[in-house]
Structure 1
Amino acid sequence: MTQILTQIENLSQIDSIFIFDWEQLSHDRSILEYSKLIGVFHDFNMLSSSIEKQMEFLNEHFQTFSFFDQNEYLIKDLSKHTADLLWYQLYHDVLSQPSYVTEDALQTMIHEFRSLYRENSKTFETIENFAREYRSDDALQWYLKKTFLYRMINKALKVKDIDQLYVLKSFMKDLTQCFIREHRKLIETGKEKLIVYRGMKLSRDQIEKFTENLGQLISTNGILITTSDHLIAMNQIICNQEKANLCSILLKIECDLLHMNGIDVIADLEEEYQMILFNSNATFQLVDVKMNEEITLIQLILSNESQTMKEKYINDSRRRIANISLDILFGQLMCDMGLWNQSQHYLEYLLNGSQLNNEDLAQIEYSLGDVYQLKAKWYDARKYYDRAYQAFNMQITYYPSGDITMMESLNNIGDLLFDQKQYNDALSYYQQALTICQTHAPYAINSVAFCMNNIGIILCTQQKYAEALEYHQKALNILENKSSLYQTGITDSLCYIGDLMIEEEKYSEARDYYRKALTLLENYLASPHINIADILNRMGHVLYHQRKYDEAIELYQQSLSVREKLDPDGNIDMATVLINIGKVLYETADDDGALSYYRRALVIQEKCYQSPHIDIADTLNSIGLALYGQKKYDEALEFYQRSLSIREKLDPTDNIEMGTVLTNAGRALYKKADGDGALEYYRRALAIQEKYYQSPHIDIADILNRIGLALYGQKKYDEALEFYQQSLSIREKLDPADNIEMATVLTNAGRALYKKADDDGALEHYRRALAIQEKYYQLPHIDIADILNRIGLALYGQKKYDEALKFYQRSLSIREKLDPDGNIDMATVLTNIGLALYKKGDDDDGALEYYQRALAIQEKYYQSPHIDIATCLNSIGFALCRQKKYNEALDFYQQSLCIREKLDLLDSIDTATLLCNIGHTMYEKYDYNATHSYYQRALVIQEKYYELPHINVANTLNRIGLTLYDQKKYDEALEFYQRSLSIREKLDPDGNIDMATVLTNIGLALYKKADDGALEYYRRALAIQEKYYQSSHMDIAESLNRIGLALCDQKKYDEALEFYQRSLSMQETLDPDGNIDMATVLTNIGLVLYEKADDDGALEYYQRALVIQEKYYQSRHIDIAKSLSRIGLALHDQKKYDEALEFYQRSLFTREKLDLLGGIDSATVLTYIGLSMHEKGDYDAARSYYQRALVIQEKYYESPHFDVAKSLNRIGNMQSEENEC
């Protein structure tokens, strides 16, 4: 309980707190310390009684006030003035109208009270006494009894509750008559002056309003009860001293009774004037406010200036609408005050009255049309306007004064049609109204100008600016040629011309017209004034359009300040200014500030309008836009939907503004990745636009582009392109010279083409977009940086890496100028540069540098873990792997994997790619078990993620096969190769280069198994390569060589030689200087010739191979050792033993340097040397080499072994030969 009290104790909206404890729980006595707590109650009747007493006390001691600057009214047309003071003056007079109160009004009131209080026995008894005893002369006594009547009247007057006052009208009329009667009695006593007092409580803000309005008139918004006894007034203050949040106030009022006309002041004469009452039409002039620590003294003088103002208001209104009755005028006043419900209900009461003449009937219907139009209930408004117009039209003969009223009725029908955007029909009614003014009422200068300005507004809306200016200028000339009575009309015309200048984007001229209007107003209106606030708002609008947002805000704030002083509770025009401030803040990306002002505006609109209303719909949309800017898409959608709901109620047939909100809702759904939802709203918006706009229209082009974006998000690139092209077509018709929005659509079309792998088409669109941007933007500009990057991507897709790099670098340069500290988009471009350098294959260090720069930015801006960081770490690992820095690469790959694990992305397809990269690195480190494990993990993800068959699955299967091949697990390798091949054959039955690679791998595995089937796969691979490659390609040369190897193993030496020669010829064409692969083929040819006993031919090819190897290898390479031994063998067969020995020794020396003397191949060379020595008859040397070979063989081979037996045999044969010698 204490916690709740603490939270609500200081809320200004709460005056008193009551606790109802029906369970009678015990409470901490500390709760009694809260000053607003009245008590804790266990009985409901006691609680009800306490609340009732507190309400009576508050009604007795708290008063509301309205202020009015009386200095304005002499020079101002009051016909549209909306002061509370006028409401109380007119209500007082309406009560005196004979038609207002019907005979059965009293009984109706009693019946209503009985129904209302039937559950309250005490009050019901009072009502029954009232029904039996009441007489009209007793109204004042019944009021002062402070029964339900007292409370009901005070509340109804305070809040202007016309429904309650209408129920009370019989009693209120009697009460007014009592006041008038008692006032006469007071005057008859000869009493000339009175000084009275009233003690009360006010907040500090209320006191501040008094100090700000010294010298002005004050209305008490109800009946004021005072006393001539100063001590009684002081006691009124003291009895509520515990209200610490309020200040003690003593009102001191001086009354000159002899000079008061029309204001009812009554006194209780029998009690020596101790109770003095002022009726609700009483007004006072604020003379002084004296503040001290204990009590603030507010001095007032009773004033009759309100009567003069009331008369001027009536006369000004009747100059506009001749002979309008007082009761109807009261209804129009409420409408002008924004009390639309009260006005509607009051006018309906009048309409249903039985004593109306035809002219009043027409005027009431006309006024009801005004109310319904302001409430945006256009059907009802048109119904009443039409009925009023017909009535006025029939009455011209009998009511000549009806001409101007007819004009206003026609004007209002025009206004109604204007609000419904039926501009041609509205124009017709405005022109009829003008004709009436000019023909039947030429004296109504202001009305003629008014009609002309309305016509000008329509023409401006129709973009007929020259015609519009002509009408506004005519209106201005008419008014300027007449008396100063039309100053307001002059300023209106100046403002309308300023509005027109804004539409023509002549902002300086617009501001000149507004300044002229402001100067006129400041010369004859005292500030603050609502008209001044309006022009300040318009001037802010000029600056808004000029993008001078700081200056615009300043003027909007000045306008707002004036309005807040004039009407602290706010009104519709204040809401408009708040919205304008919100728009400026929205344009400057201050979404928080914009939201604050939009929400303030919405509160006022929802208070002043009856929902649904189009202005509320607009504000809801604006709030949605601000929330969208904050990326609060769910909240934005909620407000868009509320806006749509109102619009659908107001206009079920759709309109352009509804199309705008539908578009906004679509954008929010698009951001939420709800492509289907976005498309639905976009298509609805498009249907509305195509219905209302004549094609081509820029809004249609915009929505077509958005539909394209939504389809693009759904990966429907062909459909997206179709809509982009439609959008482009419209834009090209509207602006053949191009514009920046066209560049956006070109970019979008380029993106779709890029996704379709149409790099040429993408490039074309990107380059066109770039040309437009470079024409319209000043460098550096972020959009140019973005399109340069996209061009780079398209060129990268074409494998034009050097060109791509140039565009990436230009994009990077712009971004570095715009944001030297870097940002995420810059990191993307850095990554792209790294990728291009990596693909070029000649600058891995450069690629690493850019990747690491990108990583540094990402780690600065992202909260780790983040997927972009994981991707960048993977790219760095890839570059390091190619530099053979496998341990470093693994470190980065593992960091990337760790991030994905934290993000719960281990099952994602990108993780599969990373696992493959780790597997490849392990493969390069010859850790085949680990390689196999990572490839298998990747394969599991891919088979789960992809719909089979899929190329990435085929690739991973091939990699696993390679790993098993290197582990000499040829059967298992073949199984994976075959699975990879099967997928590829389904995806591309005609074959492709990657299929050729897998066919080759199968052939290699079969070759290792000594399976003649290898030849078939090699031939299939060759057929695909010869189909896809231009003649002379290294892959073809390698396949020819492999086929030669397979044929050689089958001892088909001539066929093998043919394929070797074809391979050699192709390699010589590709690389005349030779290379290691060429040396291999030369060796293979040599081996075949050797097998064919063509030692000379074999020697030639061996020696050519040796030359290339010695050129390309660093000295002492195993391939050189092998070639030397082969040359030695061929020379040996030619019985050139000395030369053979020389090559054998060189081979053995190379192996020794390579630390390979213990290898089995070294045993073979030692044997060859032994054989040559043997042939030369050097048995000791031969034996020595044989024995060295035998030692290696016995160590290397598991016994028994054929090579060991041969060595033993050689040694034994040589011993026999020595013995024979």
Structure 2
Amino acid sequence: METIISAEDELNLAACYLAVAAKMQETGEFGEAMSMIGDAEDIYRSLGHIAYLTCLHNRADINLQMGDLEMAKQQYETHLETSKVYVQEHADTINLVEFSNARAQVLRQLGHLHLREKKFAEAISFITKANRIYQQLHLAAPLHIEYYREYLNTFSSLGDILLSASRYDLAHACISHFHRLTADLSGKFPSLLDLQFDLAASFSSLGEIAVATNRFQDALVNFKQAARLMKAMLKAHHHVVEIRKVYAVTLERIGLVYLSQNKRRLTRRCFLMSGAMFGDLSAEFPDNIWYRELQSISLNRIGDLYMSFRQYDDALIYYQDSLALKSALIAANPGIIQLDNGMAVVHQNLGDIYKEWHNMEMAEKHYRHFFDIAERMQQYSSPYPELKRIYAIALGRMAMIEDVKKNYHAALQRKEESCCICRQLCKDYPLNTTYRDDLSVAYQDLGATCRQMGELRQACWYFIRYYRVSRILAAQFPENYTYRQAVAIAAKQLGEIYMEQEKYSDALFYYQQYRQRQQEIYDAGAPDDMQIACNDLAVASGLLGDVYIAMQLLPETFQSFETYYREIQALQERYPDNEIITGNLALASWKLGLCYKMYNDDEHALPLLAEAASRFSQLMLLYPGTALYQEYLQQVAEHQQIPVT
């Protein structure tokens, strides 16, 4: 006897399918979730039920999470068109309030999707439409807090779009409006967790705007306020997993601000705390790929931090752990752009470590993986700008390998392609400081290759552009340590180029700029970075001495080399085991000794030259693979020439 299932039972079954699909979507089981949604959609369509639009919405959400932006966009747009026809045909029977709410949600998702593609005008258009719908819903039901909350959240979304478009004043106006109204509503309903959550999010958004404009103290104030709210919520609602996740993300953001200020010990504290929280979430919910992805990102960030400390062994451990976690995630969940992008970045970082160790075989292996992933991501149907940026960086890393192999023409070709992408990104997004910084680095890389090829005039052309872009960024954002350091490096490289061309007046100008910039960095330097700042400041004096001796200005030469020796000697007493500082002290004693030789003052010259020989001998024993120390030792013995610092 055939069992007849009632329409009500079928609707209940479809609802169960959607509930299970939602759980699977949370844990990243997208294939199974899609299958469940398909079963529910078949039931709804057979019954002519409007809920099949929900299935279409859910499919689009999953495709968006997987990074298939084109498919997600098609499904959201189909949802809008189909729903418009449906409401015209069933205007008398449907709940217009629920229908309008669902439509506004789709409009918001389309806005966020266009934001990811950096299509700001389209994103603003969709969010504005959602804003109007929520405003109408709120006016129709003023006691319904949820509609008012969604209305306020559209201002947050508009702020995010304007922030991404680098329209910082407008973004700040939108987020401030969202923050002010949310704080007022939260004060009226202090027990509502969602409102407290929104208030914390508003502080975080204000912090992001401050970071984007390099106002790091303002960023810290806002992020710390968000963290305090999260911590208070966590005490009262420790079972709510989302609070734990967002609290960990906020701690990580605080750490990144400290890193921008070069306060690396505080950065490490924040990164380790957030990393531990992500690890706990990943252990509690092993099926949730996003918690494991956050843990992987956190491991990579800690690796970045140790990399900045030049503690390469520790950095390698964290990068390898991040790589292992990412590899497992991608093997189980292929085709998710976010995971592929993260994998590319980890390979880039591993390549950078091996490059520092001069293990170019391993560096090339990881750079090749990095490039292959970046190139593959360019073939997606709708690559957004960040993927183009990753590809440009990957081209630069492969060019670096060609430089090492002395294949300079191949290196130049890759670097020119990378620079072309950076220029186009700057043209498309002229207010984006990250793209402008990338362009300055691309100019620097091109200059370095031209210099190795002996094309000094062309190298100078690129270094001047590197210097100009970096100087503009440093002037706009004086709190940013990276931009200040880039100006100093560019000035040093220009000084070296002009020295090679025997244009000593130009070399002197840029070396003086280098010394001035290093003095500013030293004066404003964080305690974490004093070792590097002191070394670079001393080296600047040595470089000035090189120019003065070429210009036959002996008093200035003596003064510069004496300053170089005195500053680096004081630093070596504090850091006796640092190879770079010890090497610089050997150079400084050699140069100052030769200076005394020029004054026929053997009483001071000979002890300094003996000290230089002793230190170079010591370095040869400690680092036998460095041929430069043997060369310097020979020259000290012969007292023939002064090397470039």
* TM-based fold match above 0.5: yes
Q: In 2, distance between residues paired with 1:1023 and 1:725?
A: 46
What are the superposed Cα offsets for residues 446-491 of structure 1, whole Å, 9 maximum, x if unpaired?
xxxxxxxxxxxxxxxxxxxxxxxxxxxxxxxxxxxxxxxxxxxxxx
Cα distance change of structure 1 residues 942 and 1008 upon mapping to structure 2, 3 Å threshold: same
Structure 1 contact 961–977 (Cα < 8 Å) conserved? yes
Give the deviation of 1:963 after TM superposition. Answer: 1.1
Structure 2 contact 565–592 (Cα < 8 Å) conserved? no
Question: Are 1:641 and 2:157 matched, yes or no?
Answer: no
Q: In 1, distance between residues paired with 2:192 and 2:143?
A: 22
Q: Which has the higher helix share?
A: 2
Q: In 2, distance between residues paired with 1:551 and 1:1047?
A: 84
- Residue equivalent to 1:813: 327
Cα distance change of structure 1 residues 594 and 533 upon mapping to structure 2, 3 Å threshold: farther
User: Equivalences for 1:196-207 in 2 at 5 Å?
Assistant: none
Q: In 1, distance between residues paired with 2:38 and 2:348?
A: 47
Give the deviation of 1:962 after TM superposition. Answer: 0.7
Structure 1 contact 905–911 (Cα < 8 Å) conserved? no
Structure 2 contact 296–326 (Cα < 8 Å) conserved? no
- Residue equivalent to 2:496: 962
Q: In 1, distance between residues paired with 2:245 and 2:464?
A: 47
Structure 2 contact 101–134 (Cα < 8 Å) conserved? no
User: Equivalences for 1:503-902 in 2 at 5 Å?
Assistant: 537=11, 540-547=14-21, 577=51, 585=59, 589=63, 591-592=76-77, 594-596=79-81, 598-600=83-85, 602-603=87-88, 614-615=97-98, 617-628=100-111, 630-631=113-114, 633-651=123-141, 655-667=145-157, 669-671=159-161, 673=164, 675-676=171-172, 678-680=174-176, 682-683=178-179, 686-687=182-183, 689-691=185-187, 693-695=189-191, 697-701=193-197, 703-705=199-201, 707-709=203-205, 711-715=207-211, 717-736=219-238, 739=241, 741-757=243-259, 758=264, 759-778=267-286, 781-799=289-307, 800-801=311-312, 802-819=316-333, 823=337, 825-839=339-353, 840-862=356-378, 866-901=388-423
- Residue equivalent to 1:917: 445
What are the superposed Cα offsets for residues 53-94 of structure 1, whole Å, 9 maximum, x if unpaired?
xxxxxxxxxxxxxxxxxxxxxxxxxxxxxxxxxxxxxxxxxx
Q: In 2, distance between residues paired with 1:1087 and 1:546?
A: 81
Name which of 979, 982, 997 aligns with 2:539: 997
Q: In 1, distance between residues paired with 2:251 and 2:590?
A: 48
Cα distance change of structure 1 residues 717 and 847 upon mapping to structure 2, 3 Å threshold: farther
Structure 1 contact 595–627 (Cα < 8 Å) conserved? no
Structure 2 contact 583–615 (Cα < 8 Å) conserved? yes
Q: In 2, distance between residues paired with 1:969 and 1:582?
A: 68
Structure 1 contact 537–556 (Cα < 8 Å) conserved? no
Q: In 2, distance between residues paired with 1:868 and 1:917?
A: 16
Structure 2 contact 470–487 (Cα < 8 Å) conserved? yes
Name which of 534, 548, 557 aligns with 1:1006: 548
Task: Tell me how many residue pairs correspond in the alignment.
Answer: 549
Q: In 2, distance between residues paired with 1:558 and 1:876?
A: 53
Structure 2 contact 300–318 (Cα < 8 Å) conserved? yes
Give the deviation of 1:958 after TM superposition. Answer: 1.6
2:132 aligned partner, one-letter code: R
Q: In 2, distance between residues paired with 1:843 and 1:782?
A: 34
Alpha-carbon RMSD across the aligned residues, in angstroms, is 4.0
Structure 1 contact 766–790 (Cα < 8 Å) conserved? yes
Q: In 1, distance between residues paired with 2:466 and 2:291?
A: 38
User: Equivalences for 1:497-508 in 2 at 5 Å?
Assistant: none
Cα distance change of structure 1 residues 684 and 995 upon mapping to structure 2, 3 Å threshold: same
Question: Are 1:1022 and 2:565 matched, yes or no?
Answer: yes
- Residue equivalent to 2:596: 1047
Q: In 1, distance between residues paired with 2:639 and 2:99?
A: 93
Q: Which has the higher strand share?
A: 1
Give the deviation of 1:1083 after TM superposition. Answer: 5.7
Cα distance change of structure 1 residues 842 and 808 upon mapping to structure 2, 3 Å threshold: farther
- Aligned to 1:1031, what secondary structure does the other structure show? coil
Cα distance change of structure 1 residues 701 and 827 upon mapping to structure 2, 3 Å threshold: closer
Question: Are 1:979 and 2:493 matched, yes or no?
Answer: no
Structure 1 contact 602–619 (Cα < 8 Å) conserved? no
Structure 1 contact 826–854 (Cα < 8 Å) conserved? no
Give the deviation of 1:873 after TM superposition. Answer: 1.0
Structure 2 contact 568–584 (Cα < 8 Å) conserved? yes
Give the deviation of 1:746 after TM superposition. Answer: 0.6
1:599 aligned partner, one-letter code: K
Q: In 2, distance between residues paired with 1:1006 and 1:858?
A: 47
1:622 aligned partner, one-letter code: Q
Q: In 1, distance between residues paired with 2:272 and 2:421?
A: 39
What are the superposed Cα offsets for residues 1113-1151 of structure 1, whole Å, 9 maximum, x if unpaired?
xxxxx99xxxxxxxxxxxxxxxxxxxxxxxxxxxxxxxx
Structure 1 contact 533–559 (Cα < 8 Å) conserved? no
Cα distance change of structure 1 residues 889 and 780 upon mapping to structure 2, 3 Å threshold: farther
Q: In 2, distance between residues paired with 1:1025 and 1:995?
A: 9
Structure 1 contact 964–973 (Cα < 8 Å) conserved? yes
Q: In 2, distance between residues paired with 1:779 and 1:650?
A: 42
Report the TM-score, using the length of structure 2 for normalisation: 0.73
- Aligned to 1:947, what secondary structure does the other structure show? helix
1:687 aligned partner, one-letter code: A
1:1003 aligned partner, one-letter code: G
Cα distance change of structure 1 residues 650 and 1079 upon mapping to structure 2, 3 Å threshold: closer
Cα distance change of structure 1 residues 813 and 608 upon mapping to structure 2, 3 Å threshold: closer
User: Equivalences for 1:77-96 in 2 at 5 Å?
Assistant: none
Q: In 2, distance between residues paired with 1:977 and 1:1016?
A: 15
- Which has the higher relative contact order, 1 or 2, with Cα contacts under 8 A spaced 6 or more apart? 2
Structure 1 contact 728–745 (Cα < 8 Å) conserved? yes
Structure 2 contact 275–298 (Cα < 8 Å) conserved? no
Q: In 1, distance between residues paired with 2:109 and 2:509?
A: 60
2:134 aligned partner, one-letter code: L
Segments of 5+ residues of structure 1 without an aligned counterpart are 1-518, 565-573, 1089-1117, 1120-1221
Cα distance change of structure 1 residues 599 and 818 upon mapping to structure 2, 3 Å threshold: farther
Between the aligned residues of both structures, percent identity stands at 11
Cα distance change of structure 1 residues 545 and 1054 upon mapping to structure 2, 3 Å threshold: same
What are the superposed Cα offsets for residues 887-910 of structure 1, whole Å, 9 maximum, x if unpaired?
332221122233345556499342
Give the deviation of 1:1072 after TM superposition. Answer: 4.4
Give the deviation of 1:960 after TM superposition. Answer: 1.1
Cα distance change of structure 1 residues 539 and 691 upon mapping to structure 2, 3 Å threshold: farther
Report the TM-score, using the length of structure 1 for normalisation: 0.41
Q: In 1, distance between residues paired with 2:332 and 2:94?
A: 47
- Aligned to 1:767, what secondary structure does the other structure show? helix
2:559 aligned partner, one-letter code: E
Give the deviation of 1:1069 after TM superposition. Answer: 4.9
Structure 1 contact 870–896 (Cα < 8 Å) conserved? yes
